Amino acid sequence: MRISPKGTEFKWRIFLLMKALRAIGGLLTLILSIDSLAQDSAALVQNDHSFRRWDVFPAISYAPETKLTLGVIGIRYFNFGKSVSTTPLSNMEFLAVYTLNEQILIESRWEFFLNESRWRTRGEVYYNRYPDRNYGIGNHAAARVMEVDENNKRDTLNYWNFNSDRVKFSPVVLRQLRPHLFAGLQYDLESLYGVKPIAKEYQFLNADAQTIATMPVAGLRSGLGIQLLYDTRDYIMNPIHGSLFELNLINYGRYLGSDYSFTSFSADLRHYINTFQNHTLALHLYASEQWPANNVPMRALSRVGGYKFVRGYFKGTYQDASMAAFEVEYRLPLWKEDSGSKLWQVWKRLGIVAFLAGAQVAPEFSKLEMNEFNLAAGGGLRILFNPETRLNIRIDYAVALADESGGPGKRQTGLYFYLAESF
């Protein structure tokens, strides 16, 4: 694995990281300042007492690579308009956890609506010191890596385990062009450093695994681009009906201090159908491509998996320069809107979902095939956390249907506990 790119100057990297951290600090200061102003003008906001609040609960989990994980997860609501009918509710999600392996994960994502929805800003910021995996390149996760742990136990995997430090800052600022249609600029910065193998010893056993040894992983990527967004969803956190269509084009280059020079394109289409009462059929199509492929670091590739995208696969199980994916989910709340029934009052906080997803990657978009999708399926429980915004606590279990996605003779599975829907 190529730990750091050629020609990177350490001082220049530190300078850029400090600039990014200052930008993050400035953004958080701005958020707090805006919230303070909103609190001072409470009299101008209708029904605002429900919407400037924290929804918080503990985050506790266990995994062999992290041991016990303790933390907090939540969301903060804002109303920057005179009423929710003219300016949708803004929100900021956050997650902060610490593990007994001394790993840290601090994340925040936001979506703010300003000036009667004429302006909109969204994005994410995080710092992670957390385990990751490199599966190599391709649509079959066919790498074979032998690892020896601290107890001299040997295991053959289809990925290489490593820890790293990551800083990311990715804001978007959009201007409304016409009702529901927005366009604007975006910036994307991510620095990955401190790459360290988790296993005591490891060995790449086949040709597919050898790609891991040469794949660029660490370094700084910095890019500037445009985003086009069309959004008719009725609820941002959990739509019943409406659509979202998002196009992104970002160029990464040395002129922005990036260690890598390449271009990234993605198209994200989501459609929500209100089938019966408050039931929802949610559809998701996604496609992306990066070029030239040999200049793209691992975490900037099109990557399948994770807690929000094609659940059931670890993020990066399949990764390459191009990807096509789909997700279908049926959401069935067990509660009715404004129902006085005692029976429904008992179940009013619960719901269930079922989902099917598939994705494939390839070196070029033209080489994607209809019969090469890696599928996953699952279901989950929903607990209504905030009736005003329809925010749910999401508990999902998913199974990867691709053979040997978890190594020789193994299939991956995933259990996910998080706020808000995956899409």
Q: What are the pLDDT digits (tens) for 136-157?
A: 999 998 999 999 988 888 989 9
pLDDT computed for residue 349 by the predictor: 81
Which is nearest to 295 in space by CA: 324, 259, 266? Answer: 259
Q: Spell out where 235-336 has E strands.
A: 242-252, 262-274, 280-291, 302-303, 319-320, 322-333
C-alpha to C-alpha distance for 261 and 295, rounded to whole angstroms: 6
Give the pLDDT of residue 422. Answer: 95
- d(C-alpha 273, C-alpha 277), whole Å: 11
pLDDT of residue 55: 81
Instruction: Give me the architecture of the 10-419 domain, per CATH.
Output: Beta Barrel (2.40)
CA distance 18 to 400: 40
Dihedral through CA 307, CA 313, CA 314, CA 316, nearest 10? Answer: -110
Q: Is 32 exposed, middle or buried (0-12, 13-18, 19+ CB in 10 A)?
A: exposed
The confidence score (pLDDT) of residue 62 equals 73
CB 372 within 8 A of CB 398: no
Both tokens assigned to 130: 């957390």
Type of residue at 149: D
Confirm if 31 and 76 have CB atoms less than 8 A apart. no
| Parallel/antiparallel/unpaired status of strands 280-291 and 302-303 | unpaired
Write the CA distances from 342 to 188, 336, 352, 381, integer angstroms.
50, 11, 20, 21
Residue ranges in the chain modelled with pLDDT below 70: 1-52, 64, 82-86, 335-347
Query: Which SS3 state, helix, strand or coil, does residue 286 take?
Result: strand
DSSP for 317-344, written as a single string = SSEESEEEEEEEEEEEESS-TT---HHH
Q: Give the per-residue pLDDT at 400.
A: 96
The whole-number pLDDT of residue 277 equals 85
Residue 149 has a pLDDT of: 83
**pTM, entire model:** 0.84
Can you give the residue ranges of every domain in the chain?
Answer: 10-419
Q: Do the beta carbons of residue 238 and residue 205 sit within 8 Å?
A: no
> What are 62-91's pLDDT values in tens digits?
776 777 889 999 899 888 876 656 678 899
- In this prediction, residue 44 carries a pLDDT of 33
Predicted confidence (pLDDT) per residue in 166-222, tens digit: 999 999 999 999 999 999 999 999 999 999 999 989 999 999 998 998 899 999 999
